[in-house]
Amino acid sequence: NAGVTQTPKFQVLKTGQSMTLQCAQDMNHNSMYWYRQDPGMGLRLIYYSASEGTTDKGEVPNGYNVSRLNKREFSLRLESAAPSQTSVYFCASKRDSGTGWAQYFGPGTRLTVL
């Protein structure tokens, strides 16, 4: 049981390049999330998916797209990276029934855009 996994762990991009961050969970959770973490700003929600086939914008969606490929996987795509997107990106998942209140986080992807 690996929990939430993210790839890659580190990435350096040049301005204008594109890339996809991958996230997978093996806990059969319905909800999945993408956050970015910046110093002094906590975590901010980029997009989330309440179930397979649905996605919704969070607080800071501009410059990003997401795909909920199936129940396990939720990817985040940067079409044209900008230095302002330098951040640590976390994926999380959550069970939505019973007492499933906790969001479970992956280890993060540290992205630098030059």
Residue ranges that bind another protein, judged by CB under 8 A: 4, 31, 40-45, 48, 50, 58-59, 90, 92, 94, 96, 101-108
Closer residue to another protein in complex, CB, 49/85: 49
Shortest spacing between CB 63 and another protein, in angstroms = 20
Instruction: Report DSSP state, residue 99.
Output: T
Closer residue to another protein in complex, CB, 78/92: 92
CA 31 to chain centre: 12
Report how far residue 25's alpha carbon sits from residue 95's, in angstroms, rounded to the nearest whole number.
11
Shortest spacing between CB 34 and another protein, in angstroms = 12
Shortest spacing between CB 84 and another protein, in angstroms = 18
Report how far residue 90's alpha carbon sits from residue 100's, in angstroms, rounded to the nearest whole number.
19
Shortest spacing between CB 96 and another protein, in angstroms = 6
Closer residue to another protein in complex, CB, 14/101: 101
Three-state SS for 8?
Answer: coil
For residues 70 and 52, is the Cβ–Cβ distance under 8 A?
A: yes
Identity (one letter) of the amino acid at 114? Answer: L
